[in-house]
Amino acid sequence: MKIDFYNIGEIDDRNLKFAVIVSKFQDKWVFVRHRDRDTWEIPGGHRENGENIDETAKRELFEETGAEDFQIEPVCDYSVTRDSITTYGRLFFSEIKELDTLPDFEIKEIKFFHKLPDNLTYAEIQPYLFEKVKSIKP
Residue 110 scores a pLDDT above 90: yes
- As for how many domains the chain has, the answer is 1
53 SS3 class: helix
Report the CATH number at residue 119.
Answer: 3.90.79.10
Residue 57 is predicted with a pLDDT of 98
Separation between Cα atoms, residue 118 and residue 34, nearest integer Å: 16
Give CA angle at 73 (64, 111), nearest 5°.
Answer: 30
Mean per-residue pLDDT over the chain, rounded: 96
Which range of residues forms the domain containing residue 106?
A: 2-136
Q: 137 falls in which pLDDT band (50, 70, 90)?
A: confident
Separation between Cα atoms, residue 61 and residue 86, nearest integer Å: 24
What's the pTM value of the predicted model, to 2 decimals?
0.96
* Percent of the chain surpassing pLDDT 70: 99
